[in-house]
Amino acid sequence: MNILITSASRKVTLVKCFKDALKKEHEDGGKVYAADINPLSAALYTADGHFLIPPDSDPQFITALTDICKSHKITLIVPTRDEEIPIFAAARERFQAVGTNIMVAPPETIAVCQDKLRFIEFCLAHGFGVPRCYNISADGVALKDISYPVFIKPRFGKGGAKAARVDNEDILIHLLRLEPQAIVAEYVRAEEYTIDVFADFQGQVISVVPRQRIGVFGGESFIGKTLNNPMLIEAAKSLSEKLGLIGHNTIQCFLDNCTVNLIEVNPRYGGGSSLGIAAGADTPRFLIKLLKGEKLEPVIGQFKDGLYMLRYTDEMYLDGKEIK
């Protein structure tokens, strides 16, 4: 069984997790490959083999990847970059035709997850809590019912880019002129959590691991702690089932006075997902078991509570001849 992680970039830990999972499942002949557009991506040189591919905006992106899947007998693709996920969702049948599965939800699910306004509307329509959002008039002027501070973020975006606290109307109007479709919401003073949710290829939720976001840099959790909280677990499980999520996903939310307010869903592995794996929800191994035809029984809430993660940077040194 061979696995391909795309947009591998700096995701060295994720590559290692999949390599460990193959060993645990006694897949001695299995390999973990990595692909990226940049030959200086560290994860390429941690994998068993690697490929340089066109950017996902290139018309040859899917063709190049299906060729790799055919020639290297790739069983599973694990996309990790937001921009490539809807492309993979739309092309799933092309990969199935060459014997390759993709860890990706249906296109409509991906569209809801990647559009923050549609996600808010989805949550409200299905009874999920979200931070209060404000309507903004067509000319970009805030309505008078706004109570400051507020939080503004782009309707489409990732990694916390252009997201900020706003303390007065003048700044808000200025930012809305720069980003007319921005979401304006109440500024929540509560603990923020990321919840790792894994669902099988039929959408059955297998594991849920909430983790507190203690230290965040560039939108990624670098210091975190697992928390076995039934409210967080139930909210994430229910949302996953309603959305139809597949594989490993990360749900972000606030826990505010015993109320779970959802922020967004990333339908992919997140930067801090290794904490959930280390705590006992070995989702790379779950994927391999599913691909071997095994049926997984839910292990929701079965993980090590109170496990801390302290992420740090490391270095890799390569001879110039190794860079291809």
Domains and CATH numbers, the chain: 2-103 (3.40.50.20), 110-114+189-310 (3.30.470.20), 132-186 (3.30.1490)
8 Å CB contact between 95 and 68: no
Q: Which of 7-16, 217-226, 228-237, 284-293 has the lowest mean pLDDT?
A: 217-226
The model's pLDDT over 270-279, given as tens digits with 9 standing for 90+, comes to: 989 999 999 9
Confidence of residue 144 (pLDDT cuts 50, 70, 90): low
| For residue 115, pLDDT beyond 60 | yes
Tell me the whole-structure pTM to 2 decimals: 0.94
| For residue 323, pLDDT beyond 90 | no
Pairing state of beta strands 308-310 and 259-266? unpaired
pLDDT above 70 coverage of the chain, percent: 97
Indicate the burial class of 92 (C-beta count within 10 angstroms; 0-12, 13-18, 19 or more): middle
Nearest to 200 by CA among 100, 271, 86, 292: 292
User: Using CA of residue 209, residue 210, residue 214, residue 218, what is the dihedral sign?
Assistant: positive
CA 271/CA 215 separation, integer angstroms: 12
Beta bridge partners of 20: none
Retrieve residue 171's tokens. 């700044």
**What pLDDT, on a 0 to 100 scale, did the predictor assign at position 143?**
60
8 Å CB contact between 6 and 61: no
**What pLDDT, on a 0 to 100 scale, did the predictor assign at position 257?**
86
β-sheet with 191-199: strand ranges across: 259-266, 247-256, 191-199, 205-217, 220-226, 308-310
CA 152/CA 167 separation, integer angstroms: 11
8 Å CB contact between 287 and 311: no
Confidence of residue 56 (pLDDT cuts 50, 70, 90): very high
Confidence of residue 321 (pLDDT cuts 50, 70, 90): confident
Sequence-ordered list of residues with C-beta below 8 angstroms from that of 30, at least 6 positions apart, any chain: 1, 2, 3, 22
Retrieve residue 197's tokens. 């949710």
DSSP state of 76: E
CA 52/CA 35 separation, integer angstroms: 6
CA 315/CA 293 separation, integer angstroms: 38
Give per-residue burial for 228-248: e unless 16+ CB within 10 Å, then b: bbeebbebbbebbebbebbbb
**What pLDDT, on a 0 to 100 scale, did the predictor assign at position 136?**
62
More reliable by pLDDT, 323 or 151: 151
